[in-house]
Amino acid sequence: MRQRTISDFFWRDPEISDLSQEDKATLLYFLTSPSSNIIGAYQVVWMIAAAEMGWTKDQLLVVVKRLKAKGLIDFNDTGWVWVKTWWKHNSAKGAFSPKLLENAKKQCAAIPSEWRNDFVESLESVGINRVSIGYPYVTQYPIDSLSIGHEYPTDTLSNPENTGKNTPPIPYSYPIDRVSHTVPHTPPPNTTIFNIQSTTTTTTSAPEYDASLQAQKTVVVNDLIFPPGITPEQCSAIQTLLTSSGVAPSDWQSILDEMHGAQLVVPIGNPVGYVRGIAKRASEGSFAPERGLAVANQREMRRNLERQDALRISAQHKTQAVEIQLDQLPDHLRKSLSRILASKAREATGA
């Protein structure tokens, strides 16, 4: 897990002294984002960034536009963010040291072309000569693809090694509406399906769960079953994260089940960040399902009960159909068939 150091000057910086609480929290997020790199100009997925802040994408972009108007950051539609206060909290000489120079040069060359002159001038203002970083650049790097994580060693996504513990949310409050999180205590039978269809089923709850909470809803998107309380925006962000994580799709449900199992023990304020941590472990081969096993077993038990109910109902329908057909026969044939069926029944029971 990477560590970012923020100077305590942050709270007395005249540039941000008049910012709102939301603006300061968002600027702190971009200074410490898991997607950040060593030069402070990097690409994010807006939906994931918003989910990590506990907001919707639209809520985040409102704040981002205010920060841009203040000259504290710049951003574009493809998810690139340039944190212009980066060098107040990070060492330029360290980022462009011989050990990291090649990596830093690649990152500089990858930023959007319309920012490069201004970005290089900002480097010169902190003592980094443009010649030393190979400016102007010959090789053009693609800037229009959204990604999670980066190809460079120092840009890997940071996340605590989750062992069932929840990643604590950023401790701040703000007046704009947050995305609400409910804390489930049961794998409920009612299922809401986004983008597919809505269905309602009823099954018997397991004894270890609180039956009074059976009205909670799980979320199913593209055959993935999400825990209760996950919003459509978070579902989309988690799907994007899993798609880009390198984890085999066959393991995605196990990751979601692990989060569901953890939710039964402790509230998870940042589902996207929690999934990122498990996905990182899974991609490294160190993830073994624990709390998710009970969730998966409960789901399989419900499916078995549903199959048994379906077979019982089908058998009842067949019996009713036979009775209807017998009633429609002439009286003498119906009595004859009834005697034959009764005889077969006695033979089957050994009477």
Residues forming beta bridges with residue 41, ordered by sequence position: 82
Q: How far apart are the first and last CA of the chain?
A: 75
Please report the pLDDT score of residue 299 as a whole number. 86
Pair type for strands 224-226 and 218-221 = antiparallel
**What are φ and ψ of residue 299, in 5° steps?**
-65, -40
- Quote the pTM value: 0.48
According to DSSP, the β-strands at 218-221 and 191-193 are parallel
Work out the average pLDDT over 76-105. 93
Report residue 124 as tokens: 């010169």
Would you say residue 183 has pLDDT above 60?
no
- Split at pLDDT 50, 70, 90, the class of 155 is very low
The amino acid sitting at 69 is A
The torsion angles phi and psi of 235, rounded to 5 degrees, stand at -60, -45
Q: Which residue has the tokens 């209760």?
A: 228
Say yes or no to pLDDT of 190 above 50. Answer: no
If residue 101 lies in a helix (H) or strand (E), which one and from where to where?
helix 101-110
Q: Which value, to the nearest 10 degrees, does the dihedral of the CA atoms of residues 333, 338, 341, 346 take?
A: -140
Tokens matching residue 100: 């990291």
pLDDT value, residue 129: 87
Check residue 73 and give its pLDDT: 96
pLDDT band at residue 163 under the 50/70/90 scheme: very low
pLDDT number for residue 1: 60
Q: Which pLDDT tens digit goes with each residue over 252-304?
A: 999 999 999 888 888 888 999 899 989 988 888 888 888 888 888 888 888 88
